Amino acid sequence: MKFFLLLIGLIISVLAAFSQNNAIVDLTLQARGDYQRLYNDGGASKDDCGFKGQYLNLILNGEINEHFSYAYRQRLNKISTTPFFEATDWLYLDYKPVQQLTISGGKQAVVIGGYEYDRAPIDLYYCSEFWNIVPCYEWGASVAYDFNQGNDKLLFQFCESPFRSYYTHADMYAYNLMWVGKHGIWNTMWSANMIEWKQGRFINYVAMGNELTFTPRLRLQFDFMNRATSHQQFLFKDCSVMTELAYRPIDKLNIFAKYTYDVNHSGTEADMLVFDGSELQSVGAGIEYYPIRKKMDIRLHANYSYAWGNNTNPDGIMQDRQHYFTIGATWSMNVFQWRRK
């Protein structure tokens, strides 16, 4: 608690200093609490049932001047159980020498394509096995270039490998290239990734995230990810599919249905997330309600999902004949906001 109070005091001091220099600053807290029930093969998982505080995020965004900006997100609910920076999702500085070019450095989200992967964890209720296991945030640097009047972006990232923590004193890296596009009703988040899963050995991802916005109220997201190493069949042996259909009949209400599929029959140990021999599916649906008119600061939700299949990872999340139900609330607390006049 003392550390937390010191952290808040430091942030307020920095905000005050930035404000005096005509900066733009936003400091927000986000929280989510659920009541949940989890059943595996007909039996209740007692540790996963009951009232749960899921997330408590501190989010700080700001602009120092027309060239420099920053972003910071800390999961305060994880500080007591992990080292400080392990609970930091991102902490990076952006530099824009020109409007189309952004150079970033710090702790960042590892650039992997797909809409399920890209969404904030606080906004998701059940996910693919890949999403449940993948380490998302690492230290690194990136360069992004916007073109086609801002409708397309290419981003290259060089960062530490998400799998370095599996080894002691590992010097391992990832090389990631992403295309983000906006073309009518079709939006994209596609990536090609080379990631060291062991010193000097790489696993390659091709991830294709697609979003179709049929109307402002009807949206379909479809992600396909293929994972492969040398000396194995490249396509479909080790892959994941995630798809979600969402409909908003009124501004306050969002209804969604989701399906995921993870499979690995590669015969190799290179995939450290979806283990060889695994084949898992899940299907579910949920509802979100925003009780305050024209504001998204409070969100109520209810969700049910069912998973089945074989998971060879002893520490895996999804299990055969798994029922999961959750109901809860998410809310935002604007702590500090300042805009240059």
pTM of the model as a whole = 0.91
* Nearest partner of 69 among 144, 5, 127, judged by Cα: 144
* Nearest partner of 313 among 141, 154, 117, 130, judged by Cα: 130
Query: For the chain, how many residues are written?
Result: 341
Across the range 243-265, mean pLDDT stands at 97
* Better-scored residue on pLDDT, 224 or 46: 224
- pLDDT of 81 over the 80 cut: no
Q: What is the pLDDT of residue 65?
A: 87
Q: What is the pLDDT of residue 80?
A: 58
Give domain limits for the chain.
53-338
How far from chain centre, in Å, is Cα 8?
25
Q: What is the pLDDT of residue 341?
A: 59
Q: What is the pLDDT of residue 87?
A: 83
Query: pLDDT above 90 covers what percent of the chain?
Result: 77
Residue in the structure block whose two tokens are 């604007």: 334
Q: What is the pLDDT of residue 4?
A: 58
Residue in the structure block whose two tokens are 């945030």: 137
Give the pLDDT band of residue 156 (cuts 50, 70, 90): very high
Give the pLDDT band of residue 82 (cuts 50, 70, 90): low
Residue 14: phi, psi to the nearest 5?
-65, -40
Q: Compute the distance between CA of residue 223 and CA of residue 260 in angstroms, rounded to an integer.
A: 9
- pLDDT of 262 over the 70 cut: yes
Across the range 266-289, mean pLDDT stands at 96
318 burial (CB, 10 Å; 0-12 / 13-18 / 19+) is: buried
Give the pLDDT band of residue 19 (cuts 50, 70, 90): low
Spell out a b/e string for 157-192, using b for 16 or more CB atoms within 10 Å of the CB, else e.
bebbbbbbeeeeeeebbbbbebebebeeeebbbbbb
Give the pLDDT band of residue 15 (cuts 50, 70, 90): low
Across the range 187-195, mean pLDDT stands at 97
Q: What is the pLDDT of residue 183?
A: 95
43 burial (CB, 10 Å; 0-12 / 13-18 / 19+) is: exposed
* Better-scored residue on pLDDT, 84 or 121: 121
Spell out a b/e string for 320-338, using b for 16 or more CB atoms within 10 Å of the CB, else e.
eebbbbbbbebebeebeeb
- pLDDT of 180 over the 60 cut: yes
Q: What is the pLDDT of residue 106?
A: 96
N-terminal to C-terminal alpha carbon distance within the chain: 36
Q: What is the pLDDT of residue 230?
A: 79
Q: Compute the distance between CA of residue 293 and CA of residue 113 in angstroms, rounded to an integer.
A: 33
User: Average pLDDT over the chain, rounded to whole?
Assistant: 91
Give the pLDDT band of residue 312 (cuts 50, 70, 90): very high
Residue type for 288, please? E
Give the pLDDT band of residue 29 (cuts 50, 70, 90): very high
Q: Compute the distance between CA of residue 273 and CA of residue 269 in angstroms, rounded to an integer.
A: 10
Residues near 295 by beta carbon (within 8 Å), at least 6 away in sequence: none
User: Which CATH homologous superfamily contains domain 53-338?
Assistant: Porin (2.40.160.10)
Helix (H) or strand (E) holding 5: helix 2-20
Q: Compute the distance between CA of residue 111 and CA of residue 61 in angstroms, rounded to an integer.
A: 20
* 8 Å CB contact between 333 and 323: no
* 8 Å CB contact between 76 and 92: no
Q: Compute the distance between CA of residue 322 and CA of residue 36 in angstroms, rounded to an integer.
A: 13
Q: What is the pLDDT of residue 17?
A: 61
For residue 8, give the DSSP letter: H
